Amino acid sequence: MKITERSKARRGHTRSGGLGKLGRGVAIALMTGIAPLALHASIDREASYEPVSPTVDQARANILIARQLQFTHFRDLSIDDSLSSEVFDAYLDYLDGQRVYLTQQDLERFEPLRYGLGAALKTGRLQPGFDIYNTVQQRVIERLEFALDLVNQGIDKLDFDRDESLLLDRSEASWVANQQELDELWRKRIKNAVLAQRLSDKSDEDIEKSLKRRYESQLNRSRQARSEDAFQAYMNAFAGMWDPHTSYFSPRTSENFNINMSLSLEGIGAVLQGDNEYTKVVRLVPGGPASKQGQLQPADRIVSVTQEDEDTPVNVIGWRLDEVVDLIRGPRNSVVTLEVIPASASDDSMTRTIAIKRDQVKLEEQSASSEVIQLQRDGNNYRIGVLTIPTFYADFRAMQKGDPNYKSTTRDVRQLIDELEDDGIDGLVVDLRNNGGGALHEANDLVGLFIDEGPTVQIRNANNDVQVLTDQDPTVSYDGPMVVMVNRMSASASEIFAGAIQDYGRGLVVGSQTFGKGTVQAVRPLNHGQLKITQSKFYRVSGGSTQHKGVVPDIEIPSRVDFSRIGEDALDHALPWDQIEAVPHTRYFDFSGIIDQLRKNHDERFATDPEFQLLQQEIDFLTEQRAQDYVSLNADVRAVELQQIEDTRLRIANARREIQGESTFETLEELEDWQTAQAADPDGQEDELDFILREGGHIMADMLELDRRLASIGAMETIAAQAN
């Protein structure tokens, strides 16, 4: 599908129900102070909420942001009527992404602002955005009060014998027509929440306490809205028109930027971001507590946080990101328990609790490591070296001090390669799965360990100036056959390395399509907060960008990850893939003569390997769950559906244990108890060679066999030609 430079309109540009343009005269009039009266005319004043107003500093920052976006961002966009309309949709999506607070009547009141927001944003007139924010906050309060009233009436009055259902994902749905329809939607949402907890064997008394605690917590937060909350939401909806990595940081967020973006200092080691009402896990920090514990996953959404010395969980739905971060951080060796909606959950009411011991993420725990795997095939023994690189790191502080022994990815890998070659390896597998990137110069230097010299990556800025990073060191640490393993969480610097190895023909890339993060951001100070802005874009030496498309493996291995939710191409307004001129580079090996046979061998192993068969069953199961649009609110139907899900999970888990020679579990509860016990002691778990990595070794062995066969055939053909 072709993606234009304007970028596709926000999902559902016609979400407002096809309302027509009402003319600029109305919009301009609303910018002059009439809007607040019009927008708030129907607000129920009994609900206590004090509308927030913009400040002079925010208005100045708005003007600076608009200028930076127009004149320094990589994408060239004009703030015109079309963009104004997209900002309007994006802002409403930001504030009510699931269409559960606003009605079509509210949208009709907002509609005159659609084509006036752009002009207002260029000149620092923030009141229209604040008017929308205040109305949404008021609607949130009204909904939460409705929910509390319904729960207080007694959940025993809810009828679970009726054949009703609830749409799970309303992000593409239309807003309901009026308050009566919204009441009906929320009645179903509460029924769903109650039913989910009943099926988890919770008593009605506990369910009522839980729901009251959740709604009261959200209600208190909504009533405490600050001017900065509205400004940050509005600016992020505006900045997000250029690309999803351009965003505004409030002064509070800017003060703790590094901590807020990566909870690596006495935390859990996770990168978090706001996702409508939720805080979502973006990725796990390699070597961090959450990564080692193994249960928290990217795209999980955090519902509540419980401290070690407290029994009552704190519901964090609707909380600000920085406040959730502060709650999760804590003293080293203390335990924090997160209640999350798993990324694989088919229903937001399905949650699990994960206890993680806080710790510091040490550089040595993110370091590259190596091992040798031995494969017996048709009487031949292959020794395959494996390099695992969790991130591209460098001890910048030690470098600045002039320490000759400072740690870095390239220095560590060079030493590990020497050790592996001393062990007599036949080939090398470089494992970059879940490597989210890191230091760009380390990716450049690492490529240099495998090529004589030459370009490694191209960087193009907004002025179309192209900088080419090169390896100028002619020495090669390893010149043997290579396989590079990647997956959806391999991003940025990982994609630069994998793309270069692929372009040079130095090795095969195996796994799943990578993330597609091919842009570079800079953080620029404002008079009020900071702006993180995309300023350049990565391109491979072959000319294609790593942006949006990522690196497509030569041999693909299916993944459990939902590509529609994780990856650059899953983000709204992501910069498109494109290409520039290639730069001269050597092609070390042409795999075209053997790639079909390599894929055939892989497919045959996939068809007979029980672990691959289980992987495919898991993928099919998850795909089926994700495709479920509605959930039943009938207790009997829901119980049957839940039992089927639990039976499938238990069957797959037991099948895997049988393959590993372990005893099976009688019930899902036994399985979950065992998983919890394992996760509580990540350091005590034995490292096992995962079958995906083992397959990388088999592909390497295939390469060695086919390469020798081809060489032999070539030699015979040469001899025959000379004889004739």
Active site residues: 492, 503, 517
HSE on the CB side for 281, CA within 13 Å? 25
Query: From start to end of 181-287, where are the E strands?
Result: 247-249, 270-275, 278-284
In whole angstroms, what is the distance from residue 440 CA to residue 432 CA?
A: 15
In whole angstroms, what is the distance from residue 366 CA to residue 395 CA?
A: 12
In whole angstroms, what is the distance from residue 292 CA to residue 678 CA?
A: 11
Q: Please enumerate in sequence order all residues whose Cβ is within 8 A of that of 530, keeping only pairs 6 or more positions apart, or say none.
A: 248, 249, 254, 257, 523, 524
HSE on the CB side for 248, CA within 13 Å? 29
In whole angstroms, what is the distance from residue 583 CA to residue 466 CA?
A: 11
* Residue whose token pair is 């976006």: 69
Tokens of 671: 């399985």
Residue type at 233?
A
| Residue 24 host element (H or E) | helix 24-29
| 345 three-class SS | coil
Residue type at 140?
V
176-211: b (≥16 Cβ within 10 Å) or e: beebeebeebbbbbbbbbbbbbbbeeeeeeebbebb
Cβ atoms of residues 358 and 330 within 8 Å = yes
| Residue 315 host element (H or E) | strand 314-315
Q: Give the chain's radius of gyration (CA, Å).
A: 28
Q: Which residues pair with 460 in a beta bridge?
A: 466, 537
In whole angstroms, what is the distance from residue 686 CA to residue 690 CA?
A: 12
DSSP type of residue 531:
E
Residue type at 663?
S
Tokens of 536: 């350049």
| 677 three-class SS | helix
Query: From start to end of 141-203, where are the E strands?
Result: 165-167
Strands across the sheet with 369-377, in order? 369-377, 380-388, 427-431, 482-486, 508-511, 555-556
Using a 10 angstrom Cβ sphere, with 0-12 exposed, 13-18 middle and 19 or more buried, the burial of residue 668 is: middle
In whole angstroms, what is the distance from residue 581 CA to residue 45 CA?
A: 62
